[in-house]
Amino acid sequence: MESNRKVFASADETACDFLIDDYKVEVGGKKKVTKQADFVLRDDIDIPDNNIIPLWMLGFEY
């Protein structure tokens, strides 16, 4: 299976942690907020809410 997605670490960590294609992604725990990111991946929730996605859901993409 091939993904064709481009993933980079962000040069400006005040904006986001990673760049996935054209999306800014922030990764963290309870206190993590969106900042300037498009999505936040959090490890302390079970159900997605707006732009906040549970970290465990990434397993379905593999």
40 and 53 in contact (C-beta within 8 Å)? yes
pLDDT for residue 34 is more than 80: no
Instruction: Give which of 10, 62, 30 is closest to 40, Cα–Cα.
Output: 30
What domain range is 48 assigned to? 7-61
Count: domains in the chain: 1
The pLDDT of residue 58: 83
pLDDT tens for residues 17-29?
999 898 999 988 8
Query: 26 lies in a domain?
Result: yes
Question: Which H or E run includes 9?
Answer: strand 7-9
Cα maximum dimension of the chain: 35
Q: Is residue 2 part of a domain?
A: no
